[in-house]
Chain A
């Protein structure tokens, strides 16, 4: 009992200190994510005879977006970094690292009292590392709308556009439905989930995380792996994670998330060179994250 009281007291103190620390160092309102995922050994295969087996993955994400209010709505200005690192064996014809370093430039605005619109571009460098940034620039963007049918039900429609993708325009739709006092179905890509709010500070959820990003490999990647047409080629990397997790709201500006699950799908597709390593064996994963808005 004493220990629990001390712990709760310390948490409350930390919450107040973290809130004021964020507000003191950051001049504008915003949101942030720091996330790390480890995926255990999985397999991919190309045709009947070529495969890459027992490789693990680290996915690291850092994102800071300022969200100042203007007359038109809420601006979204920031930067993001994501790096996939794979533990490939030997001379696997796949890049060990995939990395994006991009700006976030967007706007959330009200079209009417029922419709919110988001336009967001992520211009940046999408490649395999910091070695050669010459012409690895890309500008994927999303345009989406939320129809607020009621405080409990919202319908989301949108398109994601990436000229480097096999199918440059991908539409998406989803709903966010507050089914009861503690239950929320947030069926919106890329992270559809069913949430159960245990209390105002703790939410349990089960859901998925769908990822697809296009990266350009370096100028000599093909030569180094005996497939010259892969030099400077576009690689579409896709993966799906399904799992369950817990959001713990430590303070108004800090939420910690822990998630575990299974990765049932993964795909490396040099679609323009017609070389594709598709999923052949899933793997368990674990994710921890600190995120919030200030």
Chain B
């Protein structure tokens, strides 16, 4: 990809059951069961999120990445991906038990609630830029940039993506919203995501999963799925093509073999997630 902060890999695999059931399994899958995926908290959000939907943040685990996340918040680190207006709302100081002091939890609850509501009403176009320090980064521009560099993929999914809020205003398809607390390079990160799916001809499906906000580590990430019904050993199965794309500032400083290495790590991580998903949903081939 010509933009140095973009990275993308594609994978293909077969899973048991028809595409419709796979979509349902993806919806239900709980990645927090697998420690190796480094997702500490995952919570689904309603169509109209409120602060109460982020209550779990107060119960964040006490570990190195979460402590680093809290420390970065308390000192308003330049690595935090927030807007200038959001940065003004932070109140220093400790207080509260557990790994996540109350003022830190309250700050992030406010940021996440506002951004999730904004996505529900205006798609990624309504997201405030990351302009707390440095240049303004906009989620919509990053997502569209990722797709622009992969013309065949963009063309294949253009009709479907046009009905979503990914890279544009709110679409006609209803998103399934969620938030997560995860570990990116030993740094805790809160992220907001939205999933969409739509059935196509002959039992096929298209799906998209966009991480349209992250407090650090990466700007945005997008996973697209194309699923076709196939029969393997006489059983209904699904052939899945999956395209994963990510935009991250840290990728921009990688060159040569370092970039090859980061591609390998991304492939390994995707392969790990796919393997665990197939194991959980049983009967992968």
Interface residues of A (CB under 8 A from B): 29-31, 67, 73-74, 76, 108-110, 113-114, 116, 118, 146, 148, 150-151, 154, 180-181, 200, 252, 293-294
Among A67, A73, A150, A181, contact of B187 (Cβ-Cβ < 8 Å): A181
Name the CB-closest residue of B to A146. Answer: B261
Decide if A67 touches B264 in the complex (CB within 8 Å): no
* Known contacts A110-B264, A114-B264, A252-B252; is-contact A181 B68 (Cβ 8 Å): yes
* Interface 9-mer from B101-109, B194-202, B265-273: B265-273
Residues of A within 8 A of B269 (CB): 151
Residues of B within 8 A of A30 (CB): 255
B186 contacts chain A at the CB level, 8 A cutoff = yes
B256 contacts chain A at the CB level, 8 A cutoff = yes
Interface residues of B in 232-275 (CB under 8 A from A): 252-253, 255-261, 263-265, 267-269, 271
Give chain B nearest CB distance to A273 CB in angstroms.
39
Decide if B264 touches A29 in the complex (CB within 8 Å): no
Among B79, B255, B264, B268, contact of A293 (Cβ-Cβ < 8 Å): B255
Name the CB-closest residue of B to A76. Answer: B256
Decide if B260 touches A73 in the complex (CB within 8 Å): yes
Decide if B252 touches A116 in the complex (CB within 8 Å): no
Residues of A within 8 A of B261 (CB): 116, 146, 148, 154
Cα separation A109 to B271 with both chains bound (whole Å): 19
Name the CB-closest residue of A to B250. Answer: A200
Cα separation A180 to B185 with both chains bound (whole Å): 9
Among A29, A181, A293, A294, contact of B64 (Cβ-Cβ < 8 Å): A181
Interface residues of B (CB under 8 A from A): 64, 68, 79, 185-187, 252-253, 255-261, 263-265, 267-269, 271
Decide if A108 touches B257 in the complex (CB within 8 Å): yes
Decide if B255 touches A113 in the complex (CB within 8 Å): no
Residues of A within 8 A of B79 (CB): 200
Decide if B257 touches A116 in the complex (CB within 8 Å): yes
Residues of A within 8 A of B255 (CB): 29-31, 67, 293-294
Residues of A within 8 A of B64 (CB): 180-181
Cα separation A150 to B255 with both chains bound (whole Å): 19
Give chain B nearest CB distance to A68 CB in angstroms.
10
Decide if A113 touches B260 in the complex (CB within 8 Å): no
Known: A31-B255, A116-B257. 7 other contacts (CB 8 A): A29-B256, A108-B256, A108-B260, A148-B264, A154-B261, A180-B64, A181-B68
Decide if A116 touches B264 in the complex (CB within 8 Å): yes
Decide if B257 touches A118 in the complex (CB within 8 Å): yes
Listed A/B pairs (22) with beta-carbon separation below 8 Å: A30-B255, A67-B255, A74-B256, A74-B257, A74-B260, A110-B264, A113-B267, A113-B268, A114-B268, A148-B261, A148-B265, A148-B268, A151-B185, A151-B268, A180-B186, A181-B64, A181-B186, A181-B187, A200-B79, A252-B252, A293-B256, A293-B258
Name the CB-closest residue of A to B257. Answer: A108
Residues of A within 8 A of B253 (CB): 252
Name the CB-closest residue of B to A181. Answer: B186
Name the CB-closest residue of A to B265. Answer: A151
Residues of B within 8 A of A252 (CB): 252-253
Cα separation A148 to B64 with both chains bound (whole Å): 23
Decide if B68 touches A74 in the complex (CB within 8 Å): no
Among B185, B187, B260, B271, contact of A116 (Cβ-Cβ < 8 Å): B260
Give chain A nearest CB distance to B244 CB in angstroms.
13
Residues of A within 8 A of B258 (CB): 293
Give chain A nearest CB distance to B269 CB in angstroms.
8
